[in-house]
Amino acid sequence: MLGLQWGDEGKGKIVDFITPHYEVVARFQGGPNAGHTLEFNGIKHVLHTIPSGIFRDNTINIVGNGVVIDPVTLKKEIEALKKLNVDISKKLFISRKAHLIIPTHRLLDAASEAMKGKGKIGSTLRGIGPSYMDKTGRNGLRVGDVESKDFLARYKSLCDKHCELLKQMNYPCKLDELEPEFFDGIEALKALNLVDSEHLLNRYLSEGKKILAEGAQGSLLDIDFGSYPFVTSSNTVTAGACTGLGISPRHIGNVYGIFKAYCTRVGSGPFPTELNDATGEQLRKAGNEFGSTTGRPRRTGWLDLPALKYAIMINGVTDLIMMKGDVLSGFDTLMVCTHYMYRGKKIDYMPYDIVHEDATPVYEQLKGWNTDLTGIQQEKDFPAALSDYIAYIEEHTGVPVSVISVGPDRVQTIERKKMSMAYLS
């Protein structure tokens, strides 16, 4: 289950919705740059590190080895769940191989963005990039290290190295306030169920349990396939579930791709169908498009089919899930980008470089609808123009749209066909 655009497609809502069909939900990449929102019974909750299956009884939630964990954020998340009487003791498991975000990673993130000036990525500044850099640079600290006697010495050595770097970047290495909460977070982490998650997951598979892998960010933010360098630092695509959980590609079942009925992006980087006008503002307002993690206004634009088709191809999407259809109510006409004008040619695919070169969208115009969708429970009550919009997307992508979301609440979800159960088995 993963996002096909630039993140914030509504992954949290859908994971929560389909979790009752699974025994296990597992996050495989990213970290607290993610903000996954769930709404049910009048509760609105945002998760950053903990999988979105945590509110369902009898579901095991695993934070896999591919995730980077900030113990400070994790502790806050757990405290917020405790306030809602969610007992995590038997249903939350953390991989020992997941890497840690330490306070200096956050400082390095800020220093790096400050140095980039106008060319900044627009990072969430949660220390994600620097933490993954230490992972691939083979300097990182892992969750399992907190159980070792020399953890403090290893932390200090990495921290000192970072402070040297920060000095060179003219950025203060101020840790007085950050370290106490970090060490509190480490103590809280030690009290959790730390596991060899690859063994656990493979055991579950051999027992025939169904596992839902929960992606974070979106395919167009993928480190390899996104609009580099305006991306995040992990593989957000299906393949990331294998490396981020320790599961063989043979076990990948169906792949659920989540997309908004339009597009949003938060942070910098190319966005071909972006609307910097009143229509864009209308989408932002109607969709309440403000970041779940940082509160930043999200950039908005029309649906981009070449980008969606690219994400479907890379992920091997078997079922599409369309979110926020309700937000498009009230537009007389809807524009959908089918092609780009790129280097003087009309193309229908995502080209290599849209960072330094323009991909100008070519649109087709579709009829809008005025009906309020938020109370609709069945497909037969859809306005004809919405059914046409869905059919148009299916025709252009060749993939069925299996679920339609018409509001933020768990119950505002319509299954068009019985989902073929996206489990890894």
| Catalytic residue IDs | 8, 36
One-letter amino acid at 225 equals F
CA distance 241 to 167: 37
CB-nearest residue to ligand IMO? 267
Tokens standing for residue 21: 């069909």
Is position 267 an interface residue for ligand IMO (rule: CB under 6 A)? Answer: yes
- How far the first Cα of the chain sits from its last, in Å, is 14
- From the list Mg ion, ligand GDP, ligand IMO, none, partner contacted by residue 359 (C-beta under 5 to 8 A by kind): none
CB closer to ligand GDP out of 107 and 323: 323
- Return the residue of 23, 37, 196, 202 that touches ligand GDP, per CB under 6 A: 37
Is position 8 an interface residue for Mg ion (rule: CB under 5 A)? Answer: yes
CA distance 130 to 138: 12
Is position 270 an interface residue for ligand IMO (rule: CB under 6 A)? Answer: no
Nearest partner of 175 among 190, 158, 192, 188, judged by Cα: 158
CA distance 114 to 105: 14
- From the list ligand IMO, Mg ion, ligand GDP, none, partner contacted by residue 326 (C-beta under 5 to 8 A by kind): ligand GDP
DSSP strand pairing (401-405 vs 333-342): unpaired
CA distance 259 to 411: 18
- Contact 370/330 with Cβ under 8 angstroms? yes
CB closer to ligand GDP out of 193 and 282: 282
- Return the residue of 74, 408, 414, 416 that touches ligand GDP, per CB under 6 A: 408
Is position 265 an interface residue for ligand GDP (rule: CB under 6 A)? Answer: no
- Return the residue of 216, 312, 373, 393 that touches ligand IMO, per CB under 6 A: 216
| Cα within 13 Å of Cα(77), Cβ side | 27
**Number of chain positions touching ligand GDP (CB under 6 A):** 23
- 142's CB contacts (< 8 A; 6+ apart) are 96, 97, 98, 99, 100
CB closer to Mg ion out of 7 and 71: 7
CA distance 258 to 212: 14
- Return the residue of 73, 131, 232, 397 that touches ligand IMO, per CB under 6 A: 232
Tokens standing for residue 147: 């159980």
Is position 327 an interface residue for ligand GDP (rule: CB under 6 A)? Answer: yes
- Return the residue of 51, 66, 103, 129 that touches ligand IMO, per CB under 6 A: 129
Is position 314 an interface residue for ligand IMO (rule: CB under 6 A)? Answer: no
Residue 141 CB, shortest distance to ligand GDP, in Å, is 27
Is position 131 an interface residue for ligand IMO (rule: CB under 6 A)? Answer: no
Is position 9 an interface residue for ligand GDP (rule: CB under 6 A)? Answer: yes
CB closer to ligand IMO out of 33 and 65: 33
Is position 292 an interface residue for Mg ion (rule: CB under 5 A)? Answer: yes
- Return the residue of 217, 273, 402, 413 that touches ligand IMO, per CB under 6 A: 217
CB-nearest residue to ligand GDP? 37
Is position 257 an interface residue for ligand IMO (rule: CB under 6 A)? Answer: no
Is position 405 an interface residue for ligand GDP (rule: CB under 6 A)? Answer: yes
Q: DSSP of 150-210, one letter per residue?
A: THHHHHHHHHHHHHHHHHHTT-----TTHHHHHHHHHHHHHTSEEE-HHHHHHHHHHTT--
Please identify which residue in the block is written with the tokens 């591919």: 66
CA distance 186 to 184: 5
Residue 406 CB, shortest distance to ligand GDP, in Å, is 5
- Return the residue of 122, 253, 351, 383 that touches ligand IMO, per CB under 6 A: 122
Stretch that binds Mg ion, among 104-112, 145-153, 223-231, 285-293 (CB under 5 A): 285-293
- 160's CB contacts (< 8 A; 6+ apart) are none
CA distance 134 to 154: 13
CA distance 298 to 301: 10
Of residues 18 through 47, those in contact with Mg ion by CB under 5 A are 35
CA distance 275 to 264: 10
φ, ψ for residue 179 (rounded to 5)?
-70, -40
**Number of chain positions touching Mg ion (CB under 5 A):** 3
Contacts to Mg ion by CB under 5 A: 8, 35, 292
Contacts to ligand IMO by CB under 6 A: 3, 6-8, 33-36, 121-124, 126, 128-129, 216-218, 221, 232, 266-267, 292
Contacts to ligand GDP by CB under 6 A: 3, 7-13, 34-37, 39, 287, 292, 323-324, 326-327, 405-408
